[in-house]
Amino acid sequence: MRKALLAFLALVALLVFVQASTAVAFARDQGPRLPASAWYLVGPDGEVLAAHRARERRAIASITKLMTAVVAIEHARLSETVVVDRRVAAVGESTAHLRPGEKLAVADLVRATLVPSGNDGALALAYYVGGGSIARFVELMNAKASELGLADTTFRNPHGLDEPGHLSSARDATVLLRYALGIPFLRDALGRELVELPGGRVVPTTDDLLASWPRFLGGKTGHTGDAGWSQAGAAAARGATVYGTTLGSATRAHRNEALRALLEYGLDRYRRIAAIVSGRRYAEVETGYGRPAVALVALRAEHRTVRDDVALLERVVAPSSVTLPVRAGQRLGTVEVWRGDALLASAPLVAAETVTEPGVVGKVFWYVRTTFGNVWELVS
């Protein structure tokens, strides 16, 4: 029997939609309306989900410290010991209560910079990594900003206090946050509700969402006169992580409301689906000698998180016929699910049942019957 392997393609477009449930969000095509001056939101793949005045250059306050922490751990080992410079006490405002001359590890100073948003911690790191020069450290910050493509950003200091020319944008702050959360040590620090420093000092986070919203992974708050109440943060649900920034809220409560609503709007755009269903019949292939066709079923299930407005393409590749015998569980094809040009999921297709090969008598009987049928068609 001829063994011809032909591609059998079944194309199924799957469109999945969900409704936005965030109270602050309204029509999906217009995006969320938030109590903030600017915002930016991206999904797991970096695609923009919402934006408002996202490239407007603005003060970002202590969100700056994300870059301070990134530069510090990329230019110093976490275990290195830092002697706190006497000049750090002069910075004021938010503080980790560092004492001039005390010794702390870089790891402790990074946590002190991010969790209680210590300006003294940021300065201590800058003096250490910059070899005693804040200007040299700021040069490293701006070089890293250029490397990350933060085109709207110019740093003038390591703590984010208002200063002419110290500007960024909601878009750049979100890119920076996403990069920082990709560094395990920083992801851990940004998710802490408090940090314990040498000497028994316990300082709490400035981030209200960590304790109040389980989906929240962490982020960085900021507040100055020029920046207003601002924050960059990330949240996760149903296998999706979204990253966003809100800038310029009028109050701390509005900042919390704005960022949570923005991130919830993003999470509502994703859902978990069964991209491939185990045991589902995806195709049938012919056998021979009049035996029944064989159903092909998926060997395993594959679940994926997808955005609600993305079309998925299902492709089944299998032979048009197979040679007997066929064993139950025998691999005979593949099912694939594509999202654009990207393969989202795939699984083997196997025979759902066994089909035996007939013996000699059975084959002869089939040939006779088939031949008789063909002759009858010719003469009738």
Catalytic residues: 62, 65, 117
Closest to 149 measured CA to CA, from 173, 132, 184, 122: 173
Instruction: Give me the residues paired with residue 39 across strands.
Output: 52, 246
- Cis check for the bond before 198: say yes or no (omega within 30 of 0): no
CA-only gyration radius of the chain, Å: 30
Q: Helix or strand or coil: residue 7? A: coil
> Strand locations in 198-300, DSSP E?
201-204, 216-224, 228-237, 240-249, 270-276, 281-285, 294-298
Torsion of CA 114, 120, 121, 126, to 10 degrees: 120
Question: How many CB atoms sit inside 10 A of residue 53's CB?
Answer: 16
Strand arrangement, sheet containing 240-249: 48-52, 38-42, 240-249, 228-237, 216-224
Question: How many CB atoms sit inside 10 A of residue 119's CB?
Answer: 25
* Contact (Cβ atoms closer than 8 angstroms) between residue 335 and residue 343: no
Per-residue b or e along 85-96, where b marks 16 or more CB atoms closer than 10 Å to that residue's CB: beebeebeebbb
- Looking only at the bridges linking them, the beta strands covering 228-237 and 12-14 are unpaired
Instruction: Give me the residues paired with residue 243 across strands.
Output: 42, 234
Q: At what angle do helices 170-181 and 65-75 cross, to 10 degrees?
A: 40
